[in-house]
Amino acid sequence: MSLDKKADLPDDLIENDVQEIEQVDTFDYKSQTDLSAIEATAASKAAWLISIVVSIGGLLFGYDTGYISAVLVTIEQSLGHTLSSSEQEMVTSLTSGGALVGAVGAGLTADRFGRRWPLWGACLTFVVGTVLQTCAFSVEQFATGRFVVGLGVGSASMIVPMYIGELAPARYRGRMVAFNNMSVTFGQLLASALGAGFAQVKGEGWRATVGIGAVPAVLLAVLLFFCPESPRQLVSHGDIAAADAVLIRIYPTSTADQRGAKIRSIELSLQEATQAMSEETLWSTFKRIFTTPATGRAVLTACVIMAISQLGGFNTLMYYAATLFSIVGFNNPTAVGITVSATNFVFSIVNLVLVDKFGRRTILTITVLGMSICMIVAVIAFRYIPIDAETLKLTTDNVGWPGTLVLVAIICYVACYSSGVATIAWIGTELIPLEVRAVGTMLNTVTCWSTNIIIASTFLSMMKSWTPSGAFGFYAAICFFGWVFVIIFFPECKGMPLEAIREVFSTGFGVKYSKRWQKEHKHDAKVETLVLGH
């Protein structure tokens, strides 16, 4: 869809840009009057449709990280020989390595080229990487394809949540970003199901599992032509008319004054960033994060939650589920592995329903502690499963109740993970101030993939050197640390306009400030709900 550069705007918006920037000190963030005026109007179906389309990037992310579990146990000698443990860790972690590079690349280009161009680049790399893997007959080619796919995964994982967060109305932002995570989990479930199905096909059915991943990439590339650019991105580049046109699409019942107020609030929040994007170097923007205390606290909080989501051990289950269930004695580990993906998908829907109702902090407080407890149960169960530490093979034919307990503990762990930190780690980009949003989100995504590399490349080695109980004990400790961090440092920002969240970290980590804000605006939220209901 093309955007009309001549959209109707209030005269004062065009005439008074300079004066408004000069009068920034008179703007009262706490009142939220101008800021939230447009939020009281009904959001259009277009806002949800745009989020759904962009979330295909999440499905790609999920599918390309999800099929490796089935492939590892069905690839056999297709690449010339049976893969060793170190080769399995290598081809698994290379996608995370590529994602790390892709996230950095997307972060460097997101402010200059917008949100859509990096996504088109991600679609292209998805297709190239998929073709390389599907046609691979050597470990080297397969590994290269895994890395190339990772470039697309990293770019999509950084841009999609940021793009949705900037387009979404404040009261729906959590659910819209959560929908992206639901798409990730659906992609993982789809990959597991197809992997299990093609595992029954004689020959090299795994190639079909991998090749199907190119289809959603092509679909996303086409549908992106119908999606607008983020209004905040447009305002930051001075395209006020286009930003107004996008706001009309998102808030069709809004008045020109309401859209003008929203644009002014974005301009005011960009008072320093507007010049920074055109005059400051990338290094200056990066340095701003570490030299501005409030900005540093916001980025640190987002990155710590992201690190916990990865170091807590979930992706060992996603990447090595079939291998793990084979170790504990299940006869059809690929099919059993679907239970992990299915639980992940179902409880991502739970998060979608609850995240804007109960808030991020409450959900994290309950679920991260639950993750730690589940891992402790797995630690205990593994103590009763006889496993050869050298080969990671069972030394008995009958595991019994400990194997079942491991499965139950893992399913409960995944339920806690998917309904909590899995999605909220990506919603965490809402904490990052707009003037460093792209670079801060890049750091958040780099945190994701760098910690993901650690998990993907060490799991089998940890199982051998530390024993399964030791490895899962490590993950339990990380989860417990995460729970303590949430209790002490994580503020509740549900329903807050992005331009107002910056105030949360102005004097600290903002836990008390955010609680006070939620109490003061609780009545406003109820009034909005009643108005919208009628």
DSSP per-residue letters across 279-310: HS-HHHHHHHHHHSHHHHHHHHHHHHHHHHHH
Which CATH number goes with the domain that contains 236? Answer: 1.20.1250.20
As for how many domains the chain has, the answer is 1
Question: In this predicted structure, what is the pLDDT of residue 507?
Answer: 81
**Residues 6+ away with beta carbon under 8 Å from 527:** none
Question: In this predicted structure, what is the pLDDT of residue 280?
Answer: 57
Question: In this predicted structure, what is the pLDDT of residue 368?
Answer: 97
Number of H helices, E strands in the chain: 28, 2
10-14 long-range CB contacts below 8 Å, 24 or more apart?
10/256, 10/257, 10/260, 12/260, 13/240, 13/260, 13/263, 13/264, 14/240
Residue range of the domain that includes 436: 34-280+294-533
Question: In this predicted structure, what is the pLDDT of residue 389?
Answer: 77
The structure tokens listed for 80 are 């010339």
Question: In this predicted structure, what is the pLDDT of residue 490?
Answer: 93
482 belongs to a structural domain: yes
- Which residue positions in the chain have pLDDT lower than 70? 1-37, 39-40, 42-43, 111, 269-282, 498-499, 523-534
23 belongs to a structural domain: no
358 belongs to a structural domain: yes
Question: In this predicted structure, what is the pLDDT of residue 4?
Answer: 41
26 belongs to a structural domain: no
Question: In this predicted structure, what is the pLDDT of residue 172?
Answer: 77
150 belongs to a structural domain: yes
DSSP-based three-state secondary structure for 393:
strand
7 belongs to a structural domain: no
How much is the pTM? Answer: 0.71
Calculate the dihedral angle through the C-alpha atoms of 389, 395, 397, 401, rounding to the nearest 10 degrees.
Answer: -60
Question: In this predicted structure, what is the pLDDT of residue 27?
Answer: 39
3 belongs to a structural domain: no
**Where would I find the beta strands (DSSP E) of 325-481?**
387-388, 393-394
For residues 413 and 370, give the distance between their C-alpha atoms in angstroms, rounded to a whole number: 7
Question: In this predicted structure, what is the pLDDT of residue 84?
Answer: 86
The structure tokens listed for 209 are 């599992």
525 belongs to a structural domain: yes
The structure tokens listed for 327 are 């170790």
